[in-house]
Amino acid sequence: MIQDDDVFDSKITDISKKIAFETTNFGEKNEYGIDPATIALIISIIIELVKLIRECRKDKKQILKMVNEPSLMERWYFRKIAGKFSKNKHYKKSIIEAAFKVGKQTTIQDVEELF
């Protein structure tokens, strides 16, 4: 179980870094940088989403489709979760857009490591 936790932690950290990097490229001025607060915020959002998805008990192909091409309802719910962690609308929008961009690049191997 410890090895599984290490893989999970590593994968969450990897995804959060990708999202943080994409967040720094958001907007015309590249307004946001990668800092510990950004990483912590993104990790909190990702963990909340993983908990939600695990509760739904979808198979891995359904999870991959949901992450690669979220429905309107799934996008709305993600925005709602992100809103719990950040009240700054512009900052929250940058994280959400970065997360959707990284989500499109998610592979079945990523899903298997998280679920």
User: Which of the two residues, 26 and 83, has the higher pLDDT score?
Assistant: 83
- Structural domain boundaries of the chain? 2-114
What is the pTM assigned to this prediction? 0.72
Rounded average pLDDT over 30-44: 71
- Hey, how many other C-beta atoms are within 10 angstroms of the C-beta on 95? 23
The DSSP-derived string for 11-45 is: HHHHHHHHHHHHHHT-TTTT-----HHHHHHHHHH
For the chain, give the mean pLDDT: 78
